[in-house]
Structure 1
Amino acid sequence: MRHKAVILGCNYYIGLSAIRCLGMHGIHTVAVDYSPERAYGALSKYTSERLIAPHYKEEKEAFIAFLKEYARKQELPPVLIPCHDSYVEAIDEHLVELRELYLIPQTRQGLYTEVMNKESLHRLARGLGVPVPETIRPDEEDFLERVERELGYPCIVKPTDSPSFVAAFRRKLFIVHHRAELLEAIDQANRAGLDIIVQRIIPGFDDHMYTYDAYLNQESKVTHEVTCQKFRQFPINFGASVYTGQRYVPELMDIGGSFLERIGWKGFAEIEFKKDAKTGVFYLIEVNVRTTNLNELLRKVGINFPYVAYMELVGTPLAPQVIRRDTNRVFWYFYEDMLAVRDYWRSGQLGIGNVLRSLLKPKAYAIWSWRDPKPAFAFASIIAGKLWNKIRRRNRQEEDKKRIGRGQEQDWSG
């Protein structure tokens, strides 16, 4: 009898990768989502069980009750693995009661939320001497003058709570180029009831973005770690990884590992850094506290983080491991990378030759797997449906314009 692994969120490839990373070791995986629609990750052959739960935000109390009821029916407490920030927020809010029924690495309630919140994260980092981008709050004295003097334009307006901001605006932040745009961005955030901060943009192309991925045991000591370099993001410049390569950067291991240990972190974390193109200084940008979209890349270069977490939580920890070499392997999310390439090319930031050369590297695919193809076919069907609906809307709009034009001609001739 083995502990089950409950994976929260299967309508994105992060959940799919967690299911695969565990299922290939024979672990019973439970794919949980709030709707069967678009939950293509649950179609993996490594999925042992599929469940539909109440919505984690719209029906939070019912969602927590659902999790508790499921765990009570199991012979052994399941390992709980959230694959979206909003699931993490719900777990953190109910951490004490959920830890009575599930195996969860974090023991300190509120730490997940503190690290996910951009403002409190930066306070933690500054207190430990880790560089972060210069930041000003809209309610600070001489706000507009300080933005112009200390940050300069363009700068970014970003949320303290990313999931709520993305849900409201379908983007991670606003880029503002002058005072009027800044005031408009703040007004939009205020109308949505969201707290925001304004930050300096650290100079450097997207390949100046790096990640430090680590697992810390129950003594808050790093046991597994690897570093990566981003090459392309979507949306471009301020988005998520779509083409990222593993690269050994010892300095990031020193900075990232020390930071996580000193704040008492337990479990997996991914720190995103940006290297200042002018000074070479690494700035801490954010921390992903749930399992990462680079799972498949990290597994292929030697560290299966979901499995590392599972094994430690069930009492049979794996031997520590650090990737201290460059493997030349890259993570590739084909669909969004093609959208990114289009936008990089239109904005003059990348040439086609550069893109074509990059595609020659060995890859870890976000969705595709020869051994487990069904999720990829399901995802392709979803995208095809979106494109077909877009074409139909465009055709209807064209027909409406023609009818209006014909009506105006008749009125004129009449």
Structure 2
Amino acid sequence: MNNKAVILGNNYYIGLSTIRCLGSQGIHTVAMDYSDEERYGVRSKYCKEQVIVPHYKKEKEQFIGALINYAKKQEMKPVLIPCHDSYVEVIDEYLPDLKEYYLIPQTEQGLYTRIMNKDKLHQLAEKHGVRVPETVRVDEVDFEKKIEETIKFPCLVKPVDSPTFVSVFRKKLFKVNNMEELYASVEKAKEAGLEVIIQRIIPGFDDHMHTFDAYLNQESKVTHWVTCQKQRQYPINFGASVYTSQKYIPELYDIGATFLEAIGYKGFAEIEFKKDAETGNFYLIEINARITNFNQLLYKVGINFPYITYKELTGEPLEPKALTETTNRTFWYVYEDMLAIRNYLKTGQLTIKQIILSFLRPKIHAFWDRTDPKPALYYTKLMAFKAVRRVGKR
């Protein structure tokens, strides 16, 4: 296999997992980043090459130029795999240029960006008959009346552009309890130059969050898929997976595969759903158009999405496969799960007994792998250094 795999974003465990998924299959992995700071993914024994390029946002054109220049020097087109939303956005922006030099599953420029845009995604979902949380836009007529009668408090002020919002506010959304807080949050977003929408909160604890993870081939047909259930997330209630279990939920395939195929999606996608605790209906919350946080879990239960991507794009597609049983194997990001547990206990959403019982599940770690220990050891050293520095500032 002479095609290299270029992985963007290796200062996060998604990039580390992607390197492991590909490197363990004998593929030459290239960790490409804008900085070497906290870049623990490159410590993996499966990382064969390290490249530093300009920043994807601050020096966008130079970044694209560096990507292209690297590919021009290779014998065969590399496979390009982004592991962060911001990389997905810039790849989509320059998709025609990059596809001349890289193997990328998506062929329709703008589709990645549309499904990452919360407002456009919800319009697309409604068009195809997929349930989404009731939404009100800030400039709608009878705005306050719709909030009070349809959305109700508490409710969510969500960004249209999630990656930028997270980079500015270090959170995925604002939860507000009254009209005063709502207007204050809208104004805060406006000052940052960000557009927001207002949504109803679908009732149910964090374990009502589920995912449909799938790969769609160049004919936009789902060939591989698996479903999961979140147990805990951080920040709690509206955050990322920190304790997530594999669970077979065929209904999610019926909804998710039909929708992704209908919109002509290609490549890996993860749809996040929330199950309404009162009605049992599943609501589409968002789509991740890059490898998921708990990719290491999916890999360990037998669905290696980075490798599936690589093999199809290099002309040797793997046989279709779905995990149609429940293994209960669980992804665990220890550090953030400890922070989440503290807040679940503080708010009375979980008891100590419930937490202890949850730990009986067989676990897959975000960083630790006994056959590839260096990234976890390096990450532990980073966290210890940060802890010492925080104590020293007090």
Alignment of 1:295-314 (within 5 A): 295-314=295-314
SS of equivalent to 1:123: helix
Partner AA of 2:13 in structure 1: Y
TM-score, normalization: structure 2? Answer: 0.99
In the alignment, what sits opposite 2:220? 220
In the alignment, what sits opposite 1:108? 108
In the alignment, what sits opposite 2:117? 117
**How far is the alpha carbon of 1:355 from its aligned partner?**
1.0
**How far is the alpha carbon of 1:289 from its aligned partner?**
0.3
Supply the distance in 2 between the matched residues of 1:248 and 1:96 (Cα, whole angstroms): 37
In the alignment, what sits opposite 2:38? 38
In the alignment, what sits opposite 2:318? 318
**How far is the alpha carbon of 1:386 from its aligned partner?**
1.7
Unpaired runs of 5+ in structure 2?
none
In the alignment, what sits opposite 1:243? 243
**How far is the alpha carbon of 1:32 from its aligned partner?**
0.9
In the alignment, what sits opposite 2:393? 393
Supply the distance in 2 between the matched residues of 1:115 and 1:51 (Cα, whole angstroms): 30
Supply the distance in 2 between the matched residues of 1:386 and 1:34 (Cα, whole angstroms): 21
**How far is the alpha carbon of 1:354 from its aligned partner?**
1.1
Give yes or no for the alignment of 1:374 onto 2:374. yes
Partner AA of 1:384 in structure 2: A
**How far is the alpha carbon of 1:271 from its aligned partner?**
0.1
Partner AA of 1:139 in structure 2: D
Partner AA of 2:330 in structure 1: V
SS of equivalent to 2:350: coil
**How far is the alpha carbon of 1:100 from its aligned partner?**
0.3
In the alignment, what sits opposite 1:348? 348
Partner AA of 1:349 in structure 2: Q
Alignment of 1:334-345 (within 5 A): 334-345=334-345
In the alignment, what sits opposite 1:329? 329
Following TM superposition, where does structure 1 have runs of at least 4 consecutive aligned residues deviating by more than 3 angstroms?
none
SS of equivalent to 1:22: helix
**How far is the alpha carbon of 1:351 from its aligned partner?**
0.9
Supply the distance in 2 between the matched residues of 1:363 and 1:117 (Cα, whole angstroms): 33
In the alignment, what sits opposite 1:153? 153
Partner AA of 2:53 in structure 1: A
Supply the distance in 1 between the matched residues of 2:99 and 2:292 (Cα, whole angstroms): 22
**264-273 vs 347-356, which deviates more?**
347-356
Supply the distance in 2 between the matched residues of 1:60 and 1:383 (Cα, whole angstroms): 30
SS of equivalent to 1:220: coil
In the alignment, what sits opposite 2:47? 47
Alignment of 1:101-250 (within 5 A): 101-250=101-250
SS of equivalent to 1:391: helix
Aligned residues: 394
SS of equivalent to 1:48: strand
SS of equivalent to 1:241: strand
Q: Deviations over 1:314-360 (max 9, x none)?
A: 00000000110001101111110011000000000111111111112
In the alignment, what sits opposite 1:398? none
Partner AA of 1:133 in structure 2: P
**How far is the alpha carbon of 1:4 from its aligned partner?**
0.2
**How far is the alpha carbon of 1:385 from its aligned partner?**
1.8
In the alignment, what sits opposite 1:403? none
Higher Cα Rg, which structure: 1
TM-score, normalization: structure 1? Answer: 0.94
Supply the distance in 1 between the matched residues of 2:299 and 2:389 (Cα, whole angstroms): 36
In the alignment, what sits opposite 2:3? 3
Instruction: Note the aligned Cα RMSD (angstroms).
Output: 0.7
Q: Deviations over 1:391-411 (max 9, x none)?
A: 1121xxxxxxxxxxxxxxxxx
In the alignment, what sits opposite 1:406? none
**How far is the alpha carbon of 1:237 from its aligned partner?**
0.2
Partner AA of 2:69 in structure 1: E
Give yes or no for the alignment of 1:88 onto 2:88. yes
**How far is the alpha carbon of 1:295 from its aligned partner?**
1.0
Unpaired runs of 5+ in structure 1?
395-414
Supply the distance in 1 between the matched residues of 2:39 and 2:267 (Cα, whole angstroms): 26
Q: Deviations over 1:94-151 (max 9, x none)?
A: 0001000000000000000001100000001000000000000111111122111110
SS of equivalent to 1:76: coil
Supply the distance in 2 between the matched residues of 1:12 and 1:385 (Cα, whole angstroms): 17
In the alignment, what sits opposite 1:364? 364
SS of equivalent to 1:272: strand
Supply the distance in 2 between the matched residues of 1:392 and 1:172 (Cα, whole angstroms): 30
Q: Deviations over 1:141-199 (max 9, x none)?
A: 11122111110000000100001101110100000000110010001000000010000
**How far is the alpha carbon of 1:377 from its aligned partner?**
1.1
**How far is the alpha carbon of 1:362 from its aligned partner?**
1.0
Give yes or no for the alignment of 1:25 onto 2:25. yes
